[in-house]
Amino acid sequence: MIRLNEKYGRILLAEQAYLPDGWKANVQVLVENGKISRVGPAGSFDAQGAVRQRGRVLLPGLVDCHTHLGLLDPTTPAGDDVNEMIDPVNPGLRVIDGVNPGDPGFGRALAEGVTSVGILPGSTNLLGGQGAVLTTAPGSLQERLLSSYCGMKAALGENPKRDYGAQQRSPRTRMGEAYLLRGALRRAAEALAAGRVNDYDTEALVRVLEGTVPLRVHVHRSDDVETILRIGEEFGLRLVLEHGTGCAGLADRLCQAGIVVAAGPAIMGPCKDEMRQITPVLPGMLEKAGVEVALITDAPEVPAEYLRLMGLIAHREGLSAAGTLDALTRVPARILGLEGQIGVIAPGARADLVWMNGDPLNLYSRVEKVFVGGACVYGEDSTD
């Protein structure tokens, strides 16, 4: 990893840059101590001794808020750490205790401009545990850790009732799923009211009840979406719908409730019954209804390096250009609780930046350089 001059930083000059208010031409960005300190038109400021570097198109590092990187190696059962089947309700589990930072998927994602990933447990359990956020740059897990709790993973639908039903255990039906989920939330609420928050499971769920972190719910079928909307209203939860395959018909309700959908991956086929409605048209339909959308790969279901491809397909099928870029940067950063820190080129944000040789929504454009925390971690670190 090439580290910057900590005293003077670096000025990045771009012909175009994607800023919070859209595309701007001839932009300069000052990076100091791993963060963006100033952004403005070319020539509007200078920094004595700064290292200058020119490029064509500058983007915030892409953010994939729903992956299983480091938890699931599809080549060997020894690499499967994605679902712990102690019990269908496991809120005290922590993803950071299972992630293998040596997963080569991180490096492949980095080379395609994905600089931050949300890592979630799998969807076998009703409550699968606490997600985390890592950068994709080389280094130890602790060096790369941005958040150790970015949301509580939940799941409704086929997976929990299939996997536990096969063991002749509850839940075996969707009714059982909702019953067990409500029970876990109610017990945590009662413990909080009584001042008995003294175990890992309750501590984790209290943060969900207080709205500190969202409940991130794997859901496909529209009736499962309605179930979690009911439960969310009962307990006052902050919800993020993961996948959301069948939620198009409920888009107005989602908009009114301010619920964000982490949609995708759109290039999968309907590998189970509840995914029959899967379509790349969904993000555009949700945007038109006023629902904020993030795009996800669910890696390794679809490799994380194809995140931008998810955007190209969604844009072709109706998601606006700005909506697509936001769905790859700003919106997933907000889902992860890191709004303003990643996924944006603005003062105070981490200097996670991507140089491209053209329009990022053109399939033929390539990533030339990637900076994470101000350091060039992919591509030649030349200056002028």
Residue 358 and residue 365: Cα distance in Å, rounded? 5
Please, which pLDDT band fits residue 51 given cuts at 50, 70 and 90? confident
What does the alpha-carbon distance between residue 196 and residue 7 come to, in Å, rounded to a whole number? Answer: 49
Instruction: Answer whether the bond into residue 332 is a cis peptide, omega within 30°.
Output: no
Instruction: Collapse the DSSP code of 256 into the 3-class scheme (helix H, G, I; strand E, B; otherwise coil) and give the result.
Output: helix
Round to whole Å and give the CA distance between 96 and 171: 27
Q: Which two tokens stand for residue 270?
A: 């309907």
The confidence score (pLDDT) of residue 5 equals 42
* Residue bearing tokens 């039903």: 165
Q: How many CA atoms lie within 13 A of 40 on its CB side?
A: 8
pLDDT per residue over 307-348, tens digit each?
Answer: 999 999 999 999 999 999 999 999 999 999 999 999 999 999
Measured CA distances, 222 to 95, 125, 159, 164, 235 (Å): 28, 19, 15, 22, 20
pTM score over 0.75: yes
State the CB neighbour count (10 A cutoff) for residue 361. Answer: 16
Side-chain half-sphere CA neighbours of 267 within 13 A: 18
Band of residue 8 on the pLDDT scale cut at 50, 70, 90: low
Q: DSSP 3-state assignment of 372?
A: strand
Give the CA diameter of the chain. Answer: 70
**175 and 146 in contact (C-beta within 8 Å)?**
no
Q: Topology of domain 10-61+344-378, per CATH?
A: Urease, subunit C; domain 1 (2.30.40)
Find tokens 């993020």 and name the residue.
240
Main-chain dihedrals φ then ψ at residue 184, nearest 5 degrees: -65, -40
Superfamily of domain 62-335: Metal-dependent hydrolases (3.20.20.140)
**Helix, strand or coil, per DSSP, at residue 10:** strand
Domain residue limits, the chain: 10-61+344-378, 62-335
3-class SS letters over 95-153: HHHCCCCCCHHHHHHHHCCEEEEEECCCCCCCEEEECEEEECCCCCHHHHEEECCCCEE
pLDDT band at 70 (very low <50, low <70, confident <90, very high): very high
* Predicted confidence (pLDDT) at residue 372 exceeds the cutoff of 70: yes
Contacts of 95 (CB under 8 A, 6+ apart): 71, 119, 120, 121, 129, 130, 131, 132
**What would the mean pLDDT of 129-155 be, rounded to a whole number?**
97
Neighbouring CB atoms inside 10 A of 167's CB total: 9
